[in-house]
Amino acid sequence: MSISYQVETITAHQFVDILARSGLGARRPVEDLPRLQRMLDGADLVITARESATGKIVGVARSLTDWSYACYLADLAVDVSYQRKGIGAKMIELTREHAGDESFCLLISAPEAVDFYRAIGMPPADRAFMYPRLK
C-alpha cells in the first residue's frame, strides 16, 4: 500500500467522509455542511493522505497558522482501516514542516488519541486554557 501526501483543497463532502471513516465525525458538526465548508475555507493548511492506487482520501490534517509563530492543528483524521500505519504521524510531520521552524504546533487531543500523541513523542502542553464553544 502506497500513500501520497499533498497540500490541497477538499470539499465539505470529502471532509465529512473522512471524518466519518476516522471516528472523528462523532466530535465534529458533520450534519452541518455549510459550517464544515467554513471550517475548510478558514483553514490555512490542509494536508491529505491518499491511497496512491485509488486516490481515496485516507487522512486529513487541517490547520490554522500564521506561518511564523503558531500553528493550531485543528483536525487530524485517519480512516480507521488505515490507522497504525504511520499516516497520522506523517501528516503531523508535514504540518510542522509547512508551518515552519519558527512555529510551534498545538492541538487538542480526543481522549482516545492521547496515547497516540505520546507514542509519537509529541510533548504535552501543561498551561493551555480554553473557552468551550457556545454552539
What CA–CA distance (Å, rounded) separates 48 from 46?
7
For residue 117, give the 3-state DSSP assignment: helix
- pLDDT tens per residue, range 90-118: 999 999 999 999 999 999 999 989 999 99
User: What confidence tier does 135 reach under pLDDT thresholds 50, 70, 90?
Assistant: confident
Which domains does the chain carry?
3-119 (3.40.630.30)
User: What confidence tier does 46 reach under pLDDT thresholds 50, 70, 90?
Assistant: very high
- Cell numbers for 33: 455542511
For residue 85, give the 3-state DSSP assignment: coil
pTM across the whole model:
0.94
- pLDDT tens per residue, range 71-95: 999 999 999 999 999 999 999 999 9
